[in-house]
Structure 1
Amino acid sequence: MSYWLRSDNETLVCHADSLLETNEAGRSLAGTLQPGDVIALIGDLGAGKTQFVKGVAEGLDVAAEEVNSPTFTLIQEYPGRILMRHSDTYRLRDAEEFADLGLDELFATDGVALIEWADRVEEYLPRDRVIVRITINSPTTRILEITATGNRSRATLAQLAATVL
């Protein structure tokens, strides 16, 4: 069973005991998102980044089965309650290649952007973003640290805390 803790005013921590609970954490975050929000996902291979994104998609009224890791297409768009743009930077040669993708479109204020392997392109991300760091705790459990980096993301985190704590 997952449980949430407040680490400090800028970080919430979720202990997820299954892929389903990782997905549920994504759905919880989706309920707080607004157009223009940026979610930076960080974690090792197999940590559950795409599973979390599927949960966000469900929370935005996008069918989770439509969501795949955009490793080869680089950016996928999914219409829903809020347009969702999903990017995976794993296969990029360098951060400049990410910049060449069309960041104005990815970070447009008409939708939310979710970037997997965000630590590889950090210098091109907006300063104010929600960071979701997923750590493998065991074969089935994950620790999700959700951190705000600015005023907008702190408001998102406060809304999330109000729903999960």
Structure 2
Amino acid sequence: MPLKLRRPFPPSGLLHGLPALAALAVLGACSSAPPPTPCPTVAIADGAARRDVYEPGRAGDLEGRRYGASLGNIGGNCTSDGTDTVVDFTVDLFVQRGPAADAQSIDVPIRVGVIDPNGQIIERETVTARVPLQGEGVTIRQPLTQRIPGVSGETVAGYAVLLGFPVAP
């Protein structure tokens, strides 16, 4: 089941598209395609969508800022082998060069965690995205994969995959 399901239906073509919709409904009734695999909620954790990194000892000093980064626009889908659920998704990572940037690329850490239906963290890891520092800023589409072991079928809908930037030390 895709993570993004919202797609607006253009109201101006409603009457014009009814015969086609009727034909699709008839064909859909004859289809033997398997139902889509259920997915957990995939979201950016509250307060973890933005991060600014400074030179040591210069936190908050705009001239000491190495880069700023933000996360957004998650999309993807799920598969299951009957035992585990695998969530393949992407997230947009925007990185803006700061005045103190001294490299051509940076490694940006992204924390990914799995939350069970009781709100407990059952898995957590930090992945690293290498981002070239081009011009004032760059956006990359970062692919990520999260396996949820021992969870499949409708049960996975009670789980969540949360991502964001680790809390700065």
- TM-score (norm. length: structure 1): 0.25
Flag the structure with higher strand content: 2
Q: With the length of structure 2 as denominator, give the TM-score of the two structures.
A: 0.24
Structure with larger Rg = 2
